[in-house]
Amino acid sequence: MIGLNKVINGMPIGDVLEMVSDEEVSRLDVPSWCRRTGHELVDMTESEGEFLFIIRKCRPVRNVRRKRDFSRY
């Protein structure tokens, strides 16, 4: 996912990236990464052991952390 991060960070918002992977785990990792980072997974297909991902770069998602209330403990 580090390589994907580097590539997409260099792209303008709205551009589309086509990524091909032959790693089975990418079938789960790429959609999860898109949800975490706020990018749109436009399409995902599998053919002959290769996965094709179409990803649209969107505005970054703010990492909002909730403050926890520990006063009740």
pTM of the prediction? 0.78
pLDDT tens-digit map of 35-50? 999 999 999 999 999 9
On the question of pLDDT at 8 being above 60, the answer is: yes
Question: Rounded CA gap, 57 and 35, in Å?
Answer: 12
Domains for the chain: give ranges and CATH numbers. 2-56 (3.30.110.40)
Q: Which residue is listed with tokens 């089975």?
A: 24
Q: Alpha-carbon distance 50 to 23, whole Å?
A: 8
> Mind listing the pLDDT tens digit for each residue in 56-71?
999 876 665 556 666 6
List the beta strands (DSSP E) in the chain: 16-21, 40-47, 50-56
